[in-house]
Amino acid sequence: MIASECAPYAKTGGLADVVGALPKALRALGHEVIVIMPKYASINTQKYMIHPFLSPMGVWMGNAQEWCAVHAATNDGVPVYFIESNKYFDRYGLYNDASFNDYQDNPRRFGFLTRAGLQLCHDIGFAPDVVHSHDWQAALAPAYLKIWHWNDPVLGGAASLLTIHNIGYQGVYSAASYDYLGLQPGNFTADKFEDHGRINFLKGGIAYADRVNTVSPTYAQETRTPAYAYGLAPYLNDKGENYIGILNGVDYTEWNPAVDTLIPARYTPSDMSGKALCKEALQRRFGLEVNPDIPILGIVTRLAEQKGMHLLAAAIGDIVSQMQLQVVILGSGDKHLETAFGALPARYTGRIGSFIGYNNELAHWIEAGSDFFIMPSLYEPCGLNQIYSLKYGTLPIVRATGGLEDTVQQYDEASGEGTGFKFWEPSSRAIYYAVGWAVSTYFDRRQHIEKMIHKAMVQNYSWDQSALLYVQAYQKALSHKKGENR
């Protein structure tokens, strides 16, 4: 696997969780997996026992060879290799500087990562059946395999799978880097890498990959339509049955209130007393009124339009003024949203708490201590937090899109069945009504809430099932590759 993030080493979102967990699940099924990622300045090499592995390693970019070193560690038995290039990775952030400006040389940085990853396989004689690349940052791997490694004794037999975690980020850059990336002039065409005169990493990867998937069945359907695909629907449809959706799993050794050591108290469906303690601790930590009978709405998110946070920002004042509800927000991202959410506790003292920044422990506290968890996403390829919420008995309130649609079962007022509250319209008004529905259920049909909590907590979205689907996808990718070579 080649990826730009992998938990626990470097993470900005769910991509890291997936790249951290899926290899372990594949390994448990008897497969051999290695992970290749950048050696970012932020990675704690001591804590994770990351050690020098290979130096120097030459990588051909454009017409010249560039040099890097490779470091290694083991993540629960999975070998992880870190490409060290001070020129590209020894900086503040993964993708952007401290002012959230994307690094101008991102196409070169991640083109280099990908090329170096394949070079590493070649140099150590690791002959994979499949090279699995994640998102635009690694999307050139399928192309490099076919352009440069087709008769390589080590990599010549490798098929490719490209996973799209978010089609809103395609890696579109000026054509100035095209020669450096070594993709051959003949491939700068509209069906491959060319996109209105620029380079589109994801589009080229889709064209070259033996198989492409995204991270939920509903998002796979949605991205076959123009409204969700940011221009790539025709290319995904061209893949036919070689474009599929596989729902992410979650790592229940990390996200499970029965074993979570980050939260104030542990609990299970049969003994929920620990959840009450987590709620009280959360209320104290955020300076909210300490009261077990006021429901808490939790939010943990990148503050971005994708997540519908601008819609929530417009509704939140009415929500807390007109409903018996407290709100806790943890997020970072867009500056104007950080300002808007950061200012709320001062305006709604004792009713809204917020922490602007990134804090894993707090994310666990919010999952455990809240009664509801909201994700009003405009689109959501999979979404992990709503799945964590289910396990923590924190009922999700979600817009019915992508993985949110696939993982949350709508509440039925007649029977009390369901695991959460869904709405469809992407608007502040719809958010307001959905939260109102959840809050009124909390006060008026408490037995339904209890039933839903229980049902939510026993849902199983572990990686076991999804890893089997990835193995099938790998096998299909291999037969596609063999068919092409015939």
Binding site for ligand ADP (CB under 6 A): 13-15, 17, 300-302, 330-332, 358-360, 363, 382-385
**Residue 404 binding ligand GLC, by CB under 6 A:** no
Q: Choosing among ligand GLC, ligand ADP, none, which partner's interface includes residue 324 (Cβ < 5 to 8 Å by kind)? A: none
Q: Choosing among ligand ADP, ligand GLC, none, which partner's interface includes residue 107 (Cβ < 5 to 8 Å by kind)? A: none
Q: Choosing among ligand ADP, ligand GLC, none, which partner's interface includes residue 301 (Cβ < 5 to 8 Å by kind)? A: ligand ADP
The single residue among 202, 384, 390, 435 that binds ligand GLC, judged by CB under 6 A, is 384
Q: Where are the alpha helices (DSSP H) in 13-140?
A: 14-28, 86-89, 106-124
Residues 382 and 217: their CA atoms lie apart, in Å, by: 9
Query: Closest Cα partner for 478 from 221, 165, 245, 156?
Result: 156
Q: Select from 10-18, 53-61, 109-117, 335-343 the region that touches ligand GLC (CB under 6 A).
A: 10-18
Q: Choosing among ligand GLC, ligand ADP, none, which partner's interface includes residue 182 (Cβ < 5 to 8 Å by kind)? A: none
On the CB side of 284, CA atoms within 13 Å amount to 7
Q: Select from 9-17, 250-258, 413-421, 469-477 the region that touches ligand GLC (CB under 6 A).
A: 9-17
The single residue among 380, 389, 394, 442 that binds ligand GLC, judged by CB under 6 A, is 380
Cβ closer to ligand GLC: 18 or 390?
Answer: 18
Sign of the alpha-carbon dihedral angle for 71, 159, 19, 184? positive
Under DSSP, the state recorded for 104 is T
Query: Closest Cα partner for 104 from 88, 117, 84, 115?
Result: 88
Q: Are 199 and 134 in contact (CB under 8 A)?
A: no
Cβ closer to ligand GLC: 85 or 166?
Answer: 166
The single residue among 23, 182, 345, 383 that binds ligand GLC, judged by CB under 6 A, is 383
Q: Select from 47-55, 152-160, 179-187, 374-382 the region that touches ligand GLC (CB under 6 A).
A: 374-382
Least distance in angstroms from the C-beta of 262 to ligand ADP: 11
Q: Where are the alpha helices (DSSP H) in 260-325?
A: 273-285, 309-322
**Residue 381 binding ligand GLC, by CB under 6 A:** yes
Backbone phi, then psi, for 177, in 5-degree steps? -85, 0
Burial of 125 (0-12, 13-18, 19+ CB in 10 A): exposed
Q: Choosing among ligand GLC, ligand ADP, none, which partner's interface includes residue 278 (Cβ < 5 to 8 Å by kind)? A: none
Residues 284 and 327: their CA atoms lie apart, in Å, by: 13
**Residue 382 binding ligand GLC, by CB under 6 A:** yes
Least distance in angstroms from the C-beta of 251 to ligand ADP: 10
Question: How much is the CA Rg of the chain, to the nearest whole Å?
Answer: 23
Sign of the alpha-carbon dihedral angle for 167, 168, 174, 180? negative
Which residues in this chain contact ligand GLC in the complex, by CB under 6 A?
13-15, 18, 165-166, 215, 248, 380-384, 403
